[in-house]
Structure 1
Amino acid sequence: MVEINKKSLEAKKNHHHVWASYMRRWAPDNKNVFYTTKKNNNIIRNDSVKSIAVERDFYRVQALTPDHVEVIKGWSTKSPEDLHELHMSYLNDYMKMQYMESIYKQSGIKNEKVDKMFEAWKYNGIENYHTAHEDEAQDVLKALANRDLSVLDNDRNMIFFMQFFGHQIARTKNFKDTIGAGLGKSRSSLDKTTEEQVNHIMKLTQESWWFIGYMFGISMGRSLYLDRKDDVHCLLINDTNTPFITSDQPIVNTHQALTDEVKPPEEHECDFYYPISPSVAYMINKSNRFPRGRVQVSVDDVKEMNIKLAKKANFHIIGDSKESLKPYKKYVKTNLNAIKDFGK
């Protein structure tokens, strides 16, 4: 008989949607960072990352009805066929577990270990996937933080990093809220679909987000990897006295053609910016703003990136000092508020 590890039965209910170890790169004492609070972005606190970019039950598996499944498939069919098949294989695994749980409940049998197993599966499944991606990318991020770009000459490392990169875009609460707000403002763009039907799709999408968000991350990571030779990958080196900050949406599109106007970017308008530490950032650009390789940036570049990142933040911008955040706290949630206000 296989012995079940007790730790595997512990349900992890507080889910970080930004990697805690990543945020600690902004901790001068390797423990506490400075950040704007969830309730008031004018307040800056100094504390551990334990309560930053975390939501209770954020990745918790919810029961999927046939309607949920159809919405998931609808989003997935926008992907290439092989990627759609991969999405569906993941979905099939969850549907099997959901079926097993329903059979167990119908049996009337009560078993404490089985109850804990299903509970842990619901809370830990997606969270464990993200932990695996973090583990795969940690050596790459450590090397990049040390300004070593050669780590990505290894194709396996590039695969791991692009998969992590895609998920870090899609796994956040900000991304979920932005998609939700955007759907709410795009009713007129859905031909022959009534407002009631759109509201229903929005509701099902939000209820299935624990799966859809992960599915989007897979798609983004794959696309970034396949386009790696066409896109411009560079490491931004910041030796100025103004540090890079980060946020609860740490990867943002900073293409210079984009403004605060609410409209989807063109396909070529995509320059992904990802600060890795106060002095190093990674970019994947479709523009030629920066050349490939290591690039020294100016203080104006740093300030521009910090503002654009703060505008896309949901609640928290994060820095290595209070002074590093003060110029940017007024920009927090600019993007999400603009989407919510659009069309009023």
Structure 2
Amino acid sequence: MLKISEKSLEATKNNHHVWANYMKRWSPDNKQVFYTTKKNKKTAFDSVKNVAVERHFYRVQHLTPEHIGMIKNFSKKSPKDLHEQHMSYLSDFILMQQLEAMYRKTNVKDDTADKMLDAWRSNGIERLHSVHEKEVQIVLAGLAGHDLSVLDDSKDMCCFMQFFAQQITRTKTFRDTVLTALLKKATTDEEKHLAKMMKECWWFISYMFGMSMGRSIFLDRHDDNHCLLVNDTDIPFITSDQPIVNVYQALTDEIKPPEDHECDMYYPISPSVAYMVNKSNRFPRGKVQASIDFVEEMNIKIAKRANVHIVGSSEESLSPYKKYIGMNLSAIKTS
């Protein structure tokens, strides 16, 4: 008889939309960080477990045939192999949904079955992100130590690019930005209905977007400049609840989606190291020494694209940037 562990029945209610372990590189004690709170943008010093987290953020919702049709239509715009990969992931969720429906029809109450289904709804997407996180732990540690050779193997690079893209699309900031822009643009009943449908199955669509973006960044790796930015200045890099941001210099309209060539994706890894995928040739490949002006520019852009939290290694490192928090999303809401 198959024995089911208690751990497998545990439902993760509080979902991090930024990896908690990632933020520890800003922690003086490997547990707590300085971050801005939602109320009055005050600075708190607390566990990384309490930053960039929301109850049931990734919770799997019921997919109707209309939801499934919309997801498939989006996916069909992808290359054939990627579309098939999307559909493979989708089929897993559809199968579990069908099994749940069969169980409900029996009218038999089973506590273990109910716990399994609740855990599946709560943990389904979170577990996918956990896989990506485990795959890049050694890579991130190497990059934090200024070692770019950890990306020499194409498999490691592929895993890192998949992880990298998911750090863009999995966040609350990305969700709110996309859905708010979609609703603002909607003028017909059909467009408004599409926006509503998108919101209802965002838990899956956001992951699918990350898969597509990661594939694209990986395939373009020989054309784009990937560089490691080393910060030896007196001003540390900060991060936020949107840890990867587009810092393309000529991008002045923050509401209009950027063109493909208008993407310089910046990812702070620690107070002294950041990774950048730039299409503008702003920096060459390899290690680059960051200037104090560049650090200031990056910290401001990180703060502007944050939802609530900017995260730093000290209260002093956050103070100059509090006034910029959320400017990007506010501009979309008021446009």
TM-score (norm 1): 0.96
Structure-to-structure mapping, 1:208-219, within 5 angstroms: 208-219=201-212
What are the Cα deviations for residues 193-233 of structure 1, in whole angstroms up to 9, with x where unaligned?
xx211111111111101100111111111111111111100
CA contact (8 A) 1:174 1:313 kept: yes
- Unaligned residue ranges in structure 1 (runs of 5+): 189-194
Determine the C-alpha separation between the residues in 2 that align with 1:76 and 1:261.
Answer: 26
Count of matched residue positions in the alignment of Structure 1 and Structure 2:
335
Amino acid of the residue matched to residue 136 of structure 2? A
Percentage of identical aligned residues: 63
Whole-angstrom distance in 1 between the partners of 2:300 and 2:78: 32
Q: Does 1:319 align with 2:312?
A: yes
Question: How far does residue 38 in structure 1 lie from its aligned partner after superposition?
Answer: 2.0
- Counterpart mapping for 1:1-344 below 5 A: 1-41=1-41, 43-187=42-186, 195-342=188-335
SS of 1:116 mapped into structure 2: helix
Does the CA-based 8 Å contact 1:76-1:84 persist in structure 2? yes
| CA distance in structure 2 between the aligned counterparts of 1:96 and 1:202, rounded to whole angstroms | 25
Instruction: Tell me the CA shift for residue 159 of structure 1.
Output: 1.1
One-letter identity of the residue aligned with 2:49: K
Aligned residue identity for 2:196? K
Following the alignment from structure 2 to structure 1, what is the Cα–Cα distance between the partners of residues 254 and 174? Answer: 18
Shift in Å, 1:39: 2.7
Give CA deviations for 1:71-129 in whole Å, capped at 9, x if unaligned: 21222122112211111111111111101100100111111111111111100111011
SS at match of 1:18: coil
CA–CA distance in 2 between the matches of 1:247 and 1:260? 21
Q: Deviations over 1:270-317 (max 9, x none)?
A: 000000000000000101111100000100000000111111101100
Structure 1 runs (4+) deviating above 4 angstroms are none
Judge conservation of contact 1:59–1:127 (CA < 8 Å) in 2: yes
CA distance in 1, matches of 2:121, 2:259: 37
C-alpha RMSD of matched pairs (Å): 1.0
How far is 1:260 from its partner? 5.0
Mean Cα displacement is larger for which, 30-39 or 255-264?
255-264
Question: In the aligned structure 1, how far is the partner of 2:255 from the partner of 2:150?
Answer: 37
